Amino acid sequence: MDFSSFNPMVLAAALMVAATPILLAAIGELVVERSGVLNLGVEGMMITGAVVGFTAAVTTGNPYLGMLAAMAGGAALSLIFGVLTQLLKANQVASGLALTLFGLGFSALLGQGYAGVVPPRTAKLDLGLLSDIPVLGPILFRHDPMVYVSVAIVVAVWFWLTYTRSGRILRAVGENHDAAHALGYRVLRVRILAIMFGGACAGMGGAYLSLIRVPQWTEGMTAGIGWIALALVVFASWRPVRAMLGAYLFGGILVLQLNLQAAGIRIPAEYLAMSPYLITILVLVIMSSGRARKSLAAPGSLGKPFHAAG
Please tell me whether residue 40 binds another protein under the rule CB under 8 A: yes
Kindly provide the b/e burial profile for residues 104-133, where b requires at least 16 CB atoms within 10 angstroms of the residue's own CB.
bebbeebbeebeeeebbebeebeeeeebee
Tally of CA atoms within 13 A in the half-sphere of 141 that contains its CB:
12
* Spatial contact of 249 and 159, defined as CB atoms under 8 Å apart: no
Please tell me whether residue 277 binds another protein under the rule CB under 8 A: yes
Residues 172-191, one symbol each (x = binds another protein by CB under 8 A, - = not), give: x--xx-xxxxxxxx------
Q: Number of residues interacting with another protein: please give it, by CB under 8 A.
A: 67
- Neighbouring C-beta atoms of residue 292, cutoff 10 Å: 7
Cβ-based neighbours of 307, under 8 Å, separated by 6 or more:
89
Please tell me whether residue 90 binds another protein under the rule CB under 8 A: yes
Which region, judged by CB under 8 A, interacts with another protein, from 84-92, 120-128, 149-157, 201-209? 84-92
Please tell me whether residue 280 binds another protein under the rule CB under 8 A: yes
Please tell me whether residue 89 binds another protein under the rule CB under 8 A: yes
Please tell me whether residue 310 binds another protein under the rule CB under 8 A: yes
Please tell me whether residue 101 binds another protein under the rule CB under 8 A: yes
Cβ-based neighbours of 179, under 8 Å, separated by 6 or more:
172
Tell me, rounded to whole angstroms, the distance of Cα 162 from its chain centroid: 21
Closest to another protein by CB, 63 vs 74, is: 74
Please tell me whether residue 80 binds another protein under the rule CB under 8 A: yes
Please tell me whether residue 299 binds another protein under the rule CB under 8 A: yes
Angle, vertex CA 130, rays to CA 129 and CA 133, nearest 5:
90
Closest to another protein by CB, 13 vs 172, is: 172
* Spatial contact of 111 and 214, defined as CB atoms under 8 Å apart: no
Query: Which of residues 5, 136, 271, 304 is near another protein by CB under 8 A?
Result: 271
* Spatial contact of 204 and 86, defined as CB atoms under 8 Å apart: no
Angle, vertex CA 196, rays to CA 195 and CA 202, nearest 5:
90
Closest among 13, 83, 11, 8 to 41, alpha carbons compared: 83
Residues 106-145, one symbol each (x = binds another protein by CB under 8 A, - = not), give: x-xx--x---------------------------------
Q: Which residues bind another protein (CB under 8 A)?
A: 40, 80, 83-84, 88-91, 93-95, 97-98, 101-106, 108-109, 112, 165, 168-169, 171-172, 175-176, 178-185, 223-224, 227-228, 230-231, 234, 268, 270-271, 273-274, 277-278, 280-281, 284-285, 288-289, 291, 294-296, 299-300, 307-310
